[in-house]
């Protein structure tokens, strides 16, 4: 039972009646809202079947699927690069060597408080001035990697800190060196702890790839934009694409929650402040 | 470098002002709407609870650019048009509110059940429990998450540039398309973002310190 559920008494007859009335009332209001939206669509002629049916046709689907493929490619590449980088940064920040610790801390704090789009623009129009001009795919993936490595580092660090001190103490007492301790005692457990948070972080990565829209990397968002230039069915396309993102992300976050539930019982709670707010 | 300060300083400052304005509007709007959604989510009225849950699930998971595009380029199809700033602010509020709601709910649930039960057992009614026991404690533990929401909104305000709102990030990019000024402008903008984030973080920490229970 959580606190929010203990706020109310078991309702008596009068409260029950009031709740019933409010329930009906709120249902009516919600129904009215839905009806108003549909009416608006209908009046503008946007509910016509042919405006929606085209998304069941092969060529359109294939066109969008290609975009989805590019989205997945960018997200996967960023994840594969950001994970090890984040782990190294976390170890750096926890290291006892001062320069290394300062460098990692500075890196993490900088990339956590700079907008991803700014970093993308640095790669798109800043660095080419110095002759650094990689493929557009990398101009998107490298900034995402840089920014999310900072977040992942914080998650790894939280996982390492969350381990009971007895673990490292036991390791030291049997004479393990610092690096042996990390390799065979701390990391294997810390990594297990952070798996749910890392999976949840995939949602943020997937959202980040939509910045491809700003720099014309043909991921799902940009592809749908190209499609509307051809079909001119703007609201249908954009709503469907939004739905695709929402469904995908809901599935990923449910997987994360499932993993977290499975691990509960272990010290699976990670300091809340490490969890980044992935607006964007 | 000289050109930066003679020709483009005004543009940069205008961009910074736009970013600050957009962030402020979106953050305040998110607080209001987010609190309302959180109230829905803890209320005993089932449809409202379901609505709150659906709202959060939807807007936590939609990418901001996707929502921006729907609001800016999609809604005119059904005859609803706003100016660009409103489009950006509206989208950011819709998203920010979902994250604010979650932060507030986490705060409520961080107060232990025993506190609420004890308050009820000494005869406080629903609003009494909220006012004297729950909110004072929940508010403290919610400051840090709310600061994180603020920083998230600040960083996401850069995406408003995608629909043509001339915020700091877009200004910097346009200046560099016009006159190649190297990395200086980018670093200036980055510093501005870092400073605002640090200020928000510092303010939150001070507030938390001041409100801490001295036992």
d(CA A151, CA B148): 13
Residues of B in contact with A213 (CB under 8 A): 65, 69, 162
Residues of chain A found within 8 Å of residue B22, distances taken between Cβ atoms: none
Chain A residues lying within 8 Å of B108, measured CB to CB: 3-4
Distance from CA of B11 to the nearest CA of A (A): 16
**Neighbouring-strand partners of residue A266:** A264
d(CA A3, CA B142): 15
Helix (H) / strand (E) containing B40: helix B9-42
Residue A268's pLDDT is what? 44
Average pLDDT in the B115-129 region? 85
Question: What is the rounded end-to-end Cα distance, in angstroms, of chain A?
Answer: 33
Please report the number of interchain residue pairs, chain A to chain B, with beta-carbon separation below 8 angstroms.
202
Mean pLDDT of the B67-95 span:
91
What would the DSSP string read from start to end of A32-91? HHHHHHHHHHHHTTTT-HHHHHGGGSHHHHHHHHHHHHHHHHHHHHHHHHHHHHHHHHHH
Cα A8–Cα A11–Cα A14 angle in degrees, nearest 5: 130
Return the pLDDT at B133.
87
Band (pLDDT 50/70/90 cuts) for residue B129 is confident
The answer to whether the beta carbons of residues A196 and A259 sit under 8 Å apart is yes
Looking at residue B56, its pLDDT comes to 93
Q: Identify the closest residue of chain A to B182 by CA–CA distance.
A: A126
CB contact A238 to B (< 8 Å): yes
Strand partners, A264: A266
Mean pLDDT, each 10-residue run in order, chain A (280 residues): 68 83 92 92 80 80 89 94 94 90 93 92 86 88 94 91 88 89 89 88 91 90 87 87 93 88 60 53
User: Which residue among B61, B117, B193 sits closest to A115, beta carbon to beta carbon?
Assistant: B193
Selection from A75, A56, A70 nearest residue A223 by Cα: A70
Is residue B115 scored above 50 in pLDDT? yes
Question: And the tokens for B140?
Answer: 């403290």
What pLDDT, on a 0 to 100 scale, did the predictor assign at position A133?
Answer: 84
Q: What is the DSSP secondary-structure string of A75-140?
A: HHHHHHHHHHHHHHHHHHHH-S-HHHHHHHHHHHHHHHSS-HHHHHHIIIIIGGGGT----HHHHH
* Nearest-angstrom CA–CA distance, A170 and B202: 38
Q: Would you tell me which residues 88-107 of chain B have a C-beta closer than 8 angstroms to some C-beta of chain A?
A: 92, 95-96, 99, 105-106
Q: Is A266 helix (H, G, I), strand (E, B) or coil?
A: strand
- pLDDT tops 70 at residue B2: no
* Whether A154 contacts A276, CB under 8 Å: yes
Q: Does A229 touch chain B (CB under 8 A)?
A: no
Q: pLDDT tens digits, residue range B132-160?
A: 888 888 888 888 889 999 999 999 999 99
| Global confidence as pTM | 0.88
| pLDDT (0 to 100) of residue A191 | 86
Asked if the Cβ–Cβ distance from B65 to A124 is below 8 Å, we say: no
Q: Which 32-71 residues of chain B touch chain A by CB within 8 A?
A: 41-42, 44-48, 51, 57-58, 60-67, 69-70
Residue A83: closest CA among A155, A134, A185: A155
B202 near A CB under 8 A: no
Chain length of chain A: 280
Q: Which residues contact B88 (CB under 8 A, 6 or more apart)?
A: B22, B26, B68, B157, B160, B163, B165
Taking the CA atoms of residue A107, residue A135, residue B66 and residue A233 in that order, the dihedral angle to the nearest 10 degrees is: 170
C-beta of residue B89 within 8 angstroms of C-beta of residue B29: yes
pLDDT at B182: 77
Task: Please say if the pLDDT value at position B120 is more than 60.
Answer: yes
Residue of chain B whose alpha carbon sits nearest to that of A276: B148
Check CB contact of A125 with chain B, cutoff 8 Å: yes
Q: Outline where DSSP puts E strands in chain B.
A: none
Per the DSSP assignment, residues forming a β-bridge with A124 are none
The DSSP code for B123 is: T
CB B82 within 8 A of CB B90: yes
């Amino acid at each position: 039972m959580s606190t929010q559920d203990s706020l109310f008494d078991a309702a008596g007859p009068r409260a029950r009646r009031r709740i019933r009335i409010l329930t009906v009332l709120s249902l009516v209001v919600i129904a009215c809202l839905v009806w108003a939206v549909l009416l608006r669509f209908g009046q503008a002629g946007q509910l016509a079947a042919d405006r929606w049916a085209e998304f069941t046709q092969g060529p359109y689907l294939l066109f969008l699927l290609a975009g989805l493929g590019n989205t997945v490619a960018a997200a996967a590449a960023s994840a594969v690069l950001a994970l090890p980088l984040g782990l190294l940064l976390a170890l750096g920040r926890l290291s006892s060597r001062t320069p290394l610790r300062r460098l990692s801390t500075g890196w993490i704090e900088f990339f956590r408080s700079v907008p991803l789009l700014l970093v993308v623009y640095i790669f798109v129009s800043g660095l080419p001035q110095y002759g650094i001009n990689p493929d557009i795919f990398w101009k998107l993936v490298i900034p995402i990697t840089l920014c999310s490595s900072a977040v992942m580092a914080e998650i790894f660090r939280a996982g390492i800190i969350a381990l009971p001190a007895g673990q490292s103490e036991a390791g030291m007492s049997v004479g393990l060196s610092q690096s042996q301790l990390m390799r065979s005692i701390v990391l294997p457990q810390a990594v297990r702890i952070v798996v749910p948070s890392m999976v949840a972080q995939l949602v943020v990565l997937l959202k980040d790839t939509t910045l491809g829209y700003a720099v014309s990397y043909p991921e799902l968002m940009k592809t749908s934009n190209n499609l509307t230039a051809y079909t001119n069915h703007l609201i249908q396309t954009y709503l469907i694409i939004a739905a695709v993102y929402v469904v995908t992300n809901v599935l990923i976050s449910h997987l994360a929650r499932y993993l977290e539930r499975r691990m509960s019982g272990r010290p699976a709670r990670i300091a809340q402040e490490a969890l980044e707010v992935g607006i964007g | 470098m000289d050109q930066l300060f003679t020709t483009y300083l005004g543009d940069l400052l205008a961009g910074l002002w736009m970013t600050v304005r957009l962030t402020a509007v979106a953050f305040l709007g998110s607080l209001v709407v987010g609190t309302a959604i959180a109230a829905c989510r803890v209320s005993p009225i089932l449809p409202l609870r379901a609505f709150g849950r659906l709202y959060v699930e939807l807007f936590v998971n939609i990418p901001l650019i996707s929502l921006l595009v729907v609001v800016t380029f999609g809604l005119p199809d059904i005859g609803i048009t706003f100016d660009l700033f409103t489009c950006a602010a509206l989208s950011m509020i819709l998203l920010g509110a979902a994250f604010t709601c979650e932060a507030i709910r986490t705060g409520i649930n961080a107060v232990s059940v025993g506190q609420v039960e004890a308050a009820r057992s000494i005869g406080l009614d629903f609003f009494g429990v909220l006012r004297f026991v729950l909110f004072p404690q929940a508010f403290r533990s919610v400051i840090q998450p709310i600061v994180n929401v603020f920083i998230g909104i600040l960083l996401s305000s850069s995406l408003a540039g995608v629909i043509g709102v001339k915020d700091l990030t877009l200004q910097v990019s346009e200046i560099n398309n016009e006159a190649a000024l190297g990395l200086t402008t980018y670093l200036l903008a980055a510093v501005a973002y870092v400073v605002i984030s640090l200020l928000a973080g510092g303010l939150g920490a001070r507030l938390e310190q001041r409100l801490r229970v001295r036992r």
